[in-house]
Chain A
């Protein structure tokens, strides 16, 4: 007598599902040799999106943007919303919106730079006013707020540098925050120097670096830097080589450089 085992329909369905899943895993493994090198090449040229940022975007109902299409336009509309929040001085929302916009579209430096400006310059003012205004809040507290907000802005700029490692504007932004908000000449000088070393750096970055060195009493360093700068810069009006030469001459007087050791600029006439 032959006994026929009949499986429960649920078990049959389950076994089908499992076998299909296993087939799909096998497919994934088979395509891995094609996918892995292609993905490596594609990923290198794509703006990254992490799980945290993605969760934030989902909360804003931006699934379409996150999926790949319309990321740029959604980021633009969100930036307009960020500005409305900025006008309302809602600092908690402002921070999350800036991060969301830069996550959605990290390509334009506009969002990073303006976002960091809002965080470093505007938010400290709001916080100080919230706590009673500039006359009532102690200098130490004001400084603490400035430091806190600047740290957040630096964090944002550091993230931006991951996407735009050679963008001089971002280095300049950090330098400006150190200089204008934190009154930290040493760090500002450091970041102006970094900005001046980028390919698209404006000519003034190097000049400001030298001025800040001079301000800190580092005249010899400023002198050496300006001499090199004068040699490196092209002879065009925007490079302002005349001003640099003037500063070199002033420093030579201050440092009492003997005449035979003084800087000799090239003979071609300066264009001012």
Chain B
């Protein structure tokens, strides 16, 4: 297997997958809904109690990114995988000298590229709204705040977007892993959503049972913590954007990125273990 040829095949599959994905109505409508929601955050601000306007808009934007991003990551990856199966294009592709791992990696990268587009658009829209509101606030409050420089650290908005994108990578990879042994679209989506919920909330169980005496319940929770990745790790929105002192260290960001990359690769490889045996 020539490594250069292999990369070319992966690139071609990823490119086709990405193009197919951006043409999907589901992606476009979800993207529009997300943009509309982020843009309307100033409207929802009237229901806010106690938090500052900019903080509210940031929370709202981050919430939209997480929520719609997770939906898109699961459904788009599932659709992209099963479309190939249902249209029998996978069969044609794999009949040629294309390895199953290359096919899976290509699909993963295509879906991940799609999520990069989604994340970029949402973070750019959010930054734009934050900039607009910041300018309005600065104009209202005059020079009082100008001396302290910008109120928002825009780099942090993109950093949060990047970390969410890393998380979407794990989601896309585990969707492929579920799809590798699943026969239907629906089963993959439902199981993936359950996995997402477990990954997002496993830290609560871990924290609760960490103080327990040794017993089978503790072992079970420990096992749960080891089997499912901890998605709460990527949820650092509270520490970003406004407070320089609270911001996580660069090493922490690198560790989270490494964690995301490691799990993404591992799930694609696990998907390959199942997919290898699968008859198409």
Verify that A and B bind, or say they do not: yes
Which A residues fall within an 8 A CB radius of B? 20-21, 23-25, 27-32, 34-35, 37-39, 41-43, 45-51, 54, 63-64, 66-73, 76-77, 79-80, 107-111
Residues of B within 8 A of A71 (CB): 59, 63
Q: Once the chains bind, are A20 and B200 in contact (CB under 8 Å)?
A: no
How many Å lie between the Cα of A76 and that of B203 in the bound state? Answer: 25
Interface string of B249-276 (1 = CB under 8 A from A): 1011001101100110010001001100
Q: How long is the Cα–Cα vector from A179 to B173 in the complex, in angstroms?
A: 59
A37 touches B255 (CB 8 A): yes
B263 touches A27 (CB 8 A): yes
B226 at the interface (CB under 8 A from A): yes
CB-based contact B48/A31 at 8 Å: no
Contacts A31-B262, A50-B207 given; does A69 touch B50 at CB 8 Å: no
Tell me, in angstroms, the Cα distance from A20 to B231 when the chains sit together: 20
Task: Give the secondary structure class of A's interface.
Answer: helix
Q: In the bound complex, do residue B67 and residue A70 qualify as a contact, i.e. CB atoms below 8 Å apart? A: yes
Q: Which A residues are CB-close (under 8 A) to B263?
A: 27, 31
B236 touches A111 (CB 8 A): no
Asked whether, in the complex, the Cβ of B232 is within 8 Å of the Cβ of A31, the reply is no
Please name 26 pairs of A and B residues whose Cβ atoms are closer than 8 Å in the assembled complex, sorted by A.
A20-B270, A20-B273, A23-B270, A31-B262, A34-B258, A35-B259, A37-B252, A38-B259, A42-B235, A42-B252, A43-B203, A46-B232, A50-B208, A51-B204, A54-B204, A64-B67, A67-B66, A68-B63, A68-B231, A69-B64, A71-B63, A72-B56, A76-B48, A77-B47, A79-B49, A111-B49
Asked if B124 is at the interface (CB within 8 A of a chain A CB), the reply is no
On whether the beta carbons of A72 and B48 are closer than 8 Å, the reply is: yes
Residues of B within 8 A of A27 (CB): 226, 262-263, 266
> What 19 additional pairs, Cβ within 8 angstroms, besides A27-B226, A70-B59?
A27-B262, A27-B263, A31-B263, A34-B255, A34-B262, A38-B252, A42-B248, A49-B204, A51-B205, A67-B67, A70-B64, A73-B47, A73-B48, A73-B60, A73-B63, A76-B47, A79-B49, A107-B51, A108-B49
* In contact, A31 and B60 (Cβ under 8 angstroms): no
**Once bound together, how far apart are the Cα atoms of A176 and B230, in whole Å?**
42
Q: Is there a chain A Cβ closer than 8 Å to B197's Cβ? A: yes
- Chain B residue at minimal CB-CB distance from A83: B49
Q: Choose from A29, A45, A108, A109 the contact partner of B236 (Cβ within 8 Å).
A: A45
Closest 5 CB pairs of A and B: A108-B50, A28-B226, A110-B50, A69-B63, A38-B255
Chain A CB within 8 A of B44 CB: yes
Inter-chain contact A70/B60, CB cutoff 8 Å: yes
Nearest-neighbour CB distance to chain B for A71, whole angstroms, equals: 7
Residues of A within 8 A of B62 (CB): 69
Q: Give min CB distance, A272 to chain B, whole Å.
A: 25
Q: A72-B51, A110-B50 are in contact. Are A51 and B236 (CB under 8 A)?
A: no
Name the B residues within 8 Å of A48 (CB-CB).
207
Instruction: Identify the closest chain B residue to A21 (Cβ).
Output: B227
Q: How far is the CA of A31 from the CA of B228 in the complex (A)?
A: 11
A38's closest neighbor in chain B, by CB? B255
Closest to B46 in A: A76
Kindly identify which residue among B235, B256, B262, B274 contacts A46, using a CB–CB cutoff of 8 Å. B235
Residue of B nearest to A74 (CB): B63
- The answer to whether the Cβ of B223 comes within 8 Å of any Cβ in the partner chain is yes
Tell yes or no: B191 within 8 A of A by CB: no
Residues of A within 8 A of B238 (CB): 45-47, 107
> Do B50 and A35 touch across chains, with their CB atoms under 8 A apart?
no
- B232-251 Cβ-contact flags toward A at 8 Å (1 or 0): 11011011000000101101
Give the residues from 25 to 69 in chain B that come closer than 8 angstroms, CB to CB, to chain A: 44, 47-51, 56, 59-60, 62-67
Q: B225 contacts the other chain (Cβ, under 8 Å)?
A: yes
The answer to whether A69 touches B51, judged by C-beta atoms less than 8 angstroms apart, is no
Q: Are B227 and A41 closer than 8 Å at their CB atoms?
A: no
Selected from B207, B223, B232, the residue in CB contact (under 8 A) with A68 is B232
* Docked pose: A87 CA to B185 CA in angstroms: 48
Please give the distance in Å from A219's CB to the nearest CB on chain B: 40
Q: Which of B204, B236, B248, B258 contacts A50 (CB 8 A)?
A: B204
Q: Nearest chain B CB to A101's CB is how many angstroms away?
A: 9
Instruction: Assess whether B137 is interfacial by the CB under 8 Å rule.
Output: no
A38-B255, A107-B238 known; A69+B66 contact, CB < 8 A: yes
- A72 and B60 form a contact (CB under 8 A): yes
Interface centre among A39, A48, A51, A68 (most CB of B within 10 A): A68
* A80 contact set on B, CB distance < 8 A: 47
Q: Find the residue from B63, B66, B203 having the highest chain A CB count within 10 A.
A: B63
Confirm or deny: B201 has a beta carbon within 8 angstroms of a beta carbon on chain A: yes
CB distance from A184 to the nearest CB of B (A): 28
Say whether A45 contacts B246, CB under 8 Å: yes
Q: Which residues of B are found within 8 Å of A25, using beta-carbon distances?
A: 223, 226-227
CB <8 Å contact, A109 and B200: no
**A42-B232, A73-B63 are contacts. A28–B225 as well, Cβ < 8 Å?**
yes
Residues of B within 8 A of A70 (CB): 59-60, 63-64, 67
**Chain A residues whose CB sits within 8 angstroms of the CB of B200 once the complex forms:** 67-68
> Once the chains are docked, how many angstroms separate the CA of A90 from the CA of B255?
48
